[in-house]
A and B are shown apart, each in its own frame.
Chain A
């Protein structure tokens, strides 16, 4: 653990020197940002159908996936900084327009709904394919520098769609981004902070890139009244399967090899130990902890030897 932290610190150190050296003039470098946004049932109301092990979405109010709104906000901040255009896309039924309008109220430039009966029943594989096809179309129309997604959707919690799109489109994949440090002046690289379980990692990657963001990145803004009212009348563009040249075997139910065996809540993970150098038994507890760690390491090692 300690070694790991040290390694991490060292890593951060190295990267941040790298950043300093090229953090100078800021020209317009990001021209077009695409944000993927999903409409999800409000999970405070989600029910599971015990027979089919799928989510019951009927009658449950839908909201824009909260992490996706963080992504929209990040895109808007970049828009303000670099003058980029922000396009929001969503795959879903016509009702998903409501979630898209929310992004428009916040300040996104345009919204596209991918809607077609044949998209229904998609798992993460088919969803990432469908979204990737739409992004391809946007790329062909004039390029996409950055794709932003929420870290995961709160209904399925898979966190697979963003990485799926990145892989399909061969974009640099940067997940769990908590901060966008900078975009290179030449428009070739982006530097971000990734929030990991054990700390923070600063990474530089090539553009175009796909980022999935955590909520710490930016709090979604509260739209002004004129923007909100204007958005209520906004009609998103709708693209169907044909319009994104989708291969029918890769979309919807047909393109979805996933089946759900069971759904259950995992047991709560226990919290870690916090030792405070000011505490009375600090020394004792600290050496006790070190002993435990040593023991675990020894055990793991012996397992390796055996196999």
Chain B
């Protein structure tokens, strides 16, 4: 029987894999894109806000055709105490016009659309096929094995775009099991509501959307956030916390999401909504320090498989696309040079290093360890701030001067002056 051969095999039809496959096929390469799901997107989960950069460079004005939910023109942060909230908001209607800053998306639809673009460009999309191993000749990766009969498929180079906990990089020996403190477990529900209700409740212009991030006591001291993102006729409601924290605290994600949903200031936003779907997924949030080697002889690792996620800014899909693009560029260069060894493929790492992708991850490289060691940001401070606000706003005959004193006293009692200085320093080290 003839061997199945392609120029490039890409494993995983998420944003990273589709981008690499699409750009390579456009240059005339014979590309196979293997996806375990029934169709690209079938298994993909995201909050999700999808930043328009760098997608808008790959398919200009993609918003004209792509299935998007809403253009995000407002970002909110809510600090929740048990019974109240303090909110921060940034709204800019310009974000709701081209070239847009971000969109909410439902990945099952978006990925399918994007993959169809790739198919039209000539990519052979192989669905419902699980990649079960890599084929090597010496140290060089020369193909992959799949779960189908006669399932070996060969290529000059393989792109691992198989998402978090990448089997391919494991098979290639690039990393072992990921540590539970380097991944977040996110759970989310899709809650259906009429379009008009969503626009009224969240005070949205038609077609525009808001993302709300939650921190506070409902997290029970875990490192993470809750969120509500507005889609066209649904809300994505969820929570993501470090996997190690879920395990250590023994909290059930399902209970926690119920706690968030029944919080007195969150509940009215969800009223009369019906839960349509319940999803769970891992997010590699270990940041710069957790990055595995990104290439080896005959293989490049992209997107979540390479742990390219900026957790603090909810950037993942855009970094995946950026890495897919760099992978495609590197492969074209390697093809010209006729060499797919690590020596040539190393250019991929260099491109990433020089871009915002690695620069941003480097900037926040201290964030995760600091946050992990200082849980006050996620629960104590929301509590203190809301106590302070409560005291300040409540009119009950106590003079304001005395109130101020009470507020400060309360804060110092809860966290201590040294604690507060330490926290301020860590906060500075995270964002500096």
Which residues from chain A sit less than 8 Å from chain B, CB to CB?
Answer: 59, 61, 63, 222-226, 228-229, 232
Tell me, yes or no, whether B305 is within 8 Å of chain A by CB.
no
Interface centre among A59, A224, A225 (most CB of B within 10 A): A225
Shortest CB–CB separation between residue A238 and chain B, in angstroms?
19
Given contacts A226-B4, A229-B124, contact A61 B39 (CB under 8 A): yes
Interfacial chain B residues near A224, Cβ < 8 Å = 148-151
Given contacts A59-B67, A63-B38, contact A225 B146 (CB under 8 A): yes
Interface positions, chain B 106-145, Cβ under 8 Å from A, are: 108-109, 112, 124-126, 129
Are B42 and A225 closer than 8 Å at their CB atoms? Answer: no
**Could you show 13 A-B contacts with beta carbons less than 8 Å apart?**
A61-B108, A61-B112, A63-B38, A223-B149, A224-B148, A224-B149, A224-B151, A225-B4, A225-B148, A225-B152, A228-B126, A228-B148, A229-B124
Residue of B nearest to A61 (CB): B39
Given contacts A226-B4, A232-B124, contact A59 B148 (CB under 8 A): no
Q: How far is the CA of A229 from the CA of B148 in the complex (A)?
A: 11
Q: How far is the CA of A225 from the CA of B154 in the complex (A)?
A: 12
Residue of B nearest to A226 (CB): B150
Q: Mark B1-37, 1 if CB is under 8 A from A, else 0.
A: 1001000000000000000000000000000100000
Interfacial chain A residues near B294, Cβ < 8 Å = none
Taking a contact as CB atoms closer than 8 A, the residue among A59, A222, A229 that contacts B126 in the complex is: A229
Q: Considering only CB atoms and an 8 Å cut-off, how many residues of chain B contact the other chain? A: 21
Interfacial chain B residues near A61, Cβ < 8 Å = 38-39, 42, 108, 112
10 nearest A-B residue pairs (beta carbon): A224-B149, A225-B148, A225-B151, A224-B150, A226-B150, A225-B150, A224-B148, A225-B146, A232-B124, A226-B4
Q: How far is the CA of A136 from the CA of B393 in the complex (A)?
A: 82
Given contacts A59-B67, A59-B109, A232-B126, contact A225 B153 (CB under 8 A): yes
Interfacial chain A residues near B42, Cβ < 8 Å = 61
Interface centre among B38, B125, B148 (most CB of A within 10 A): B148
Interfacial chain B residues near A222, Cβ < 8 Å = 148-149
Shortest CB–CB separation between residue A102 and chain B, in angstroms?
9
Are B4 and A229 closer than 8 Å at their CB atoms? Answer: yes
Given contacts A225-B148, A225-B150, contact A232 B38 (CB under 8 A): no
Are B1 and A226 closer than 8 Å at their CB atoms? Answer: yes
Taking a contact as CB atoms closer than 8 A, the residue among A63, A223, A225, A232 that contacts B125 in the complex is: A232
Q: How far is the CA of A228 from the CA of B34 in the complex (A)?
A: 12
Q: Mark B90-110, 1 if CB is under 8 A from A, else 0.
A: 000000000000000000110
Q: How far is the CA of A232 from the CA of B39 in the complex (A)?
A: 13
Q: How far is the CA of A12 from the CA of B126 in the complex (A)?
A: 46
